[in-house]
Amino acid sequence: MVNTAIMGQGYVGLPLAQGLANTGRQSLVLGFDVFEHVVKNLNAGKSHIDDISDAELAVMLGQGYRATSNPADIALANTVVICVPTPLHDSGEPDLSYVVSATQLIADNMSPGTLVILESTTYPGTTEELVRPMLEKGGRELDKDFYLAFSPERIDPGNKNFKITNTPKIVGGSSEESTKRALAFYEQFIETVVSAVGTREAETAKLLENTYRHINIALINEMAIFCNELGIDVWEVVRLASSKPYGFQAFYPGPGVGGHCIPVDPNYLSYEVKRRLGRPFRFIEMATDVNTGMPAYVVGRVQDILNDHSKSLRGANVLLLGMTYKPDIADMRESPSAEVAELLVEKGAITKYYDPHVEVFKHHDLVINGEKNLDAALEQADIVIVLQNHKAYDFDSIVKKSKVIFDTRGTLRAPNVVRL
């Protein structure tokens, strides 16, 4: 019997379960989740993430997939994969409580010889210093009673070109045998599997990927701020620089950074550097300052634009287009649009939004119901802010019906459009 249990059935765990179920080689794919309503809906064929449709979930259920919240079911698995969130505390320090809880459930219920793989993004050393000791309690030994590896998730929600099967997978084990077994596990359903020399290198590789993006986005965001003050079109600058066929990769400015990875992962690396070496990772700290400051910068620009039209921000009708952190999905995790909305409300603006992917917007104590009639909302708005360029938007029509637009995505060109 070849059975796998996946701890966490969110944006990472459920696509992983799909990839395994589709192989036809698994007798049972267990999707473990602590939320009973998630388990109930999944077993009823109702998906809660954009990347897995109800029809695809129905196929999975016919291929041996089953959701569960019963820890005793972990004993049925030969392999257990941890795909739980790794957020930050309010202090900015890593919160590994979900990893600890999942690992404890595994330690209490796993069968002898189980391969345990951590996929949750974390700081270097977590697999060896946190997960391994928990699994070793009670006298269990690595390579005898269990095997352990780290393989960073690379899920990109909404990406139609790169799914779990054709995105290369990094695998680093706590031992040579653990690496060998983890490689064999992923090679069942992933086209390219890349072996790492150890868990720390695999953990750090994921942090490098997202720190690279975090820093370069901060660079172009700060360029956008300076270009505006100098009267230079930053979008044209990026277009021209992109004509160079080597040595340049285009990044684009925006209202901030969102999603679970870029706003979070670099802080894990920064935390570990400061904890172990006693000094800051200055690039990450500077990039964080720039990117987290963009929502306030956007609101400041909106205030200036309204002033140019003899309007005050307080009492102005402001319409936001796009609340999600990426286009064409419903994912609101860490979306900078949330902070933009909150700041506008704090400054007294009558803030509304239209987003076909988000019915109700909630952020802290702020709750806003989405507008149903876009034309009516555009007519009432003193200014429209494009925060996300969903394909569902007819921007030609939006431009014609809007008094003035502040475009943070560089999508539009018209006399009544001001670009970031």
Which of the residues are catalytic?
261
C-alpha torsion angle, residues 239, 240, 242, 247 (rounded to 10): -150
Closest by CA to 416, choosing from 373, 371, 391, 384, is 384
Q: Name the residue type at position 35.
A: F
Cα–Cα distance list, 403 to 103, 321, 381, 394 (Å): 55, 14, 7, 16
* DSSP letter assigned to residue 115: E
DSSP 163-230: -TTTS-EEEEESSHHHHHHHHHHHTTT-S-EEE-SSHHHHHHHHHHHHHHHHHHHHHHHHHHHHHHHH
Query: The dihedral of CA 272, 274, 278, 283: what is its sign?
Result: positive
- Rounded Cα distance, 183 and 151, in Å: 10
- Rounded Cα distance, 84 and 82, in Å: 6
Cβ pair 408, 418 in contact under 8 A: no
Secondary structure of 370-413 in the HEC alphabet? Answer: CCCCHHHHHHHCCEEEECCCCCCCCHHHHHHHCCCEEECCCCCC
- Rounded Cα distance, 25 and 41, in Å: 25
Cβ pair 200, 125 in contact under 8 A: yes
Q: What tokens were used for 205? A: 């590789």
Residue 366 pairs in a beta bridge with: 363
Closest by CA to 95, choosing from 256, 267, 213, is 267
Beta strands, E only, 235-376: 317-321, 350-354, 360-363, 366-369
Q: How many CB atoms lie within 10 A of CB 325?
A: 27
